[in-house]
Chains A and B, each alone.
Chain A
């Protein structure tokens, strides 16, 4: 066996071990670790954000920073596509 095969086998073993560990250490499905969080959002969405739609309240208000990252990803994708295909034009 040459060096590349040994290294890739080692990497495969490490990834597999970490995947198996994370699958074993998952907590029970349907029982989140921090229960007060979703109760807080369900009770306070209407009074704090003034919306009836709790999902939109989480996406744009409580977790607005995540949406900013999502918008940044879209912007980067568009910039990449436009820059990549600019050379094809005649």
Chain B
């Protein structure tokens, strides 16, 4: 896939940072608002797919290699499962929410009927959201990138 016209590239330049900000917002506030790691990661990965459409797979493949994205995906998976195993070690149960009882970072308990303003709540849930978000961003982007780059030599139609 070659790069598209200057109009499309300019519009994607304008939209790309906004999509990134919105996606990371959805990931970071997954324990307060609707959404979470998976949904926000899909938003960010679709922004990267828009870049892929606008600039062509060769240009993107020069900037980002799929080995880097694969390692990011593995880092997300390792973060997720090590949080679960930490719950097993500290809390006694697999996937136990051990940060809530410690009253440390993310350890606040919101009062009943409160607003959604306190980000510092939720125990391990924000950390798990971040882990799943990294995993989904890298995973979906590497799928789209590898498919686009592999099929660029094929004839259209």
Contacts and interface: CB of A to CB of B under 8 A. Distances in A.
Interface of A: 46-53, 55-57, 59-61, 64-65, 67-68, 70-71, 74-75, 77-78, 81-82, 85, 88-90
A53 B107 contact: no
B77 A82 contact: no
A78 B73 contact: yes
B136 A74 contact: yes
Interface string B97-128: 10010000011111010101000011111001
A81 B100 contact: no
A51 B121 CA distance: 6
A64 B143 CA distance: 25
Given A46-B112, A53-B33, A82 B132 contact: no
A88 B122 contact: no
B34 A65 contact: no
Contacts of B38: 70
Contact of B73 (A55, A60, A70, A75): A75
User: For chain A, what secondary structure do more than half of its interface residues adopt (helix, strand, loop), or is it mixed?
Assistant: helix
Q: Which of B30, B94, B132, B146 has the most CB of A within 10 A?
A: B146
A56 B125 contact: yes
Interface string B16-35: 00000000000000111110
B77 A71 contact: yes
A74 to B, nearest CB: 5
B31 A53 contact: yes
Interface residues of B, number: 47
B142 A51 contact: no
A65 B100 contact: no
Given A56-B30, A78-B73, A50 B121 contact: yes
Interface string B65-98: 0100010011011001100100000000011010
Contacts of B30: 53, 56
Contacts of B123: 49-51, 61
B36 A50 contact: no
B32 A52 contact: yes
A57 B114 CA distance: 16
